[in-house]
Each structure stands twice: as C-alpha cells, then as structure tokens.
Amino acid sequence: MDAAGGGSLGLADYVFHLFAVVSRHREARLDAALKPLGLSLSRHRALSIIAGIGPCTMSELADFSAVDRTTLTRTVDQLVEGGLVERATPRQDRRQVVLTLTGTGRETCGRSLQAIFDVNRELASDLSDDDRRAAVRMLQALLGRLVPDPVLRQRLLLLGDRAADGASR
C-alpha cells in the first residue's frame, strides 16, 4: 500500500486500516505511560468518563465507553478495589448502581489525563494545526454516522471538546 492509498485496498478501506494500526500502537504507548499510576488504559477510560459526566450509572458508563457490561463490571471492580471509585445504590431504584470518584480517584484521573496529554502531544508534534483540524472534522463526521442517537453523539463530542480544552492549557 502506498501513501496515496493505492494497492489492493481502496482509499476508504486504507484509512480505516490505518486507524486500527495507529490505535493499537497508541494504546500500547498509553498503557506504558499509565502503568506507573497503577492504571491500564481501560481503567483510565472508565475513570475519566466518570469524572467527565459526574456520578453515573453503569448503563451510562457503558454507553460512553462502548465496552460490554461484563468487561466494564470487571474494570469498575478494579477501580473500587483500588479506592478510586465508589458504588452506591439509590433508595428509589435498587436496580441502579451509581458510580462516583473518590478524592484519590479525582487526583489519579488528573495525573492519568496529563500522562495521556503528554503522549498525544508527542505523537502529534509534527502535525500542523490545519492537519489536526482536518483530522478532527473527519472524525466528527464519522462519529455522526456511527452514533445515531443525537443526544449521545453531542455528549460524546462535548467530552472531546472538554478534553481538547484541558490539553491546550
């Protein structure tokens, strides 16, 4: 496959191939950066989603993380065991589980976000602002096609805006 997208894959297919390859390698780099904090990328993601949307239910966490509930329950169990997240059951609905960050969870989340921002800045350091904006526009358009629920899509986009604001500070 050449850089212009020639070869056996069409350009659209090659874009998604590159997304997958970049994602796998970036995730390995992020796992290494998070390890000193006692986190994996999956634990960081759950922690940062809870931080971003405030107290949330397991269902909300599953919607935002796009992780199956069995895996997510294991991840939350690890966060609870680590003293980073608390579970509560509201009196009005005993079937619900509400997740909140502990003080240690907020502190750890801040440190893990900084570690991720550092890796992201390093990876994007040679890209121009125009290239970064073009990538953002393309990814937002893809998200629009992948997430049909407009409320969820908007919340996901806003989480990205908040993360971008934090990274620029």
Tell which wins on pLDDT, 144 or 46.
Answer: 46
User: Average pLDDT, stretch 135-151?
Assistant: 88
| pLDDT score for 143 | 87
CB of 156 within 8 A of CB of 64?
Answer: yes
| pLDDT score for 168 | 42
User: What is the pLDDT confidence band of residue 162, given thresholds at 50, 70 and 90?
Assistant: very low
The answer on pLDDT for 139 being more than 80 is yes
- pTM across the whole model: 0.74
The answer on pLDDT for 6 being more than 60 is no
User: What is the pLDDT confidence band of residue 154, given thresholds at 50, 70 and 90?
Assistant: confident
Closest CA to 163 of 144, 136, 141: 136
Structural Rg of the chain based on CA atoms: 18
Q: Is the alpha carbon torsion for 72, 75, 77, 83 positive or negative? A: negative
| pLDDT score for 161 | 53
Tokens found for residue 104: 């240690």
The Cα 69–Cα 58 span in angstroms is 8
User: What is the pLDDT confidence band of residue 121, given thresholds at 50, 70 and 90?
Assistant: very high
CB of 48 within 8 A of CB of 56?
Answer: no
- What does the mean pLDDT of the chain come to? 87
User: What is the pLDDT confidence band of residue 169, given thresholds at 50, 70 and 90?
Assistant: very low
Per-residue pLDDT reduced to its tens digit, 58-117? 989 998 888 888 889 999 999 999 999 999 988 888 888 899 999 999 999 999 999 999
| pLDDT score for 166 | 43
The Cα 86–Cα 9 span in angstroms is 47
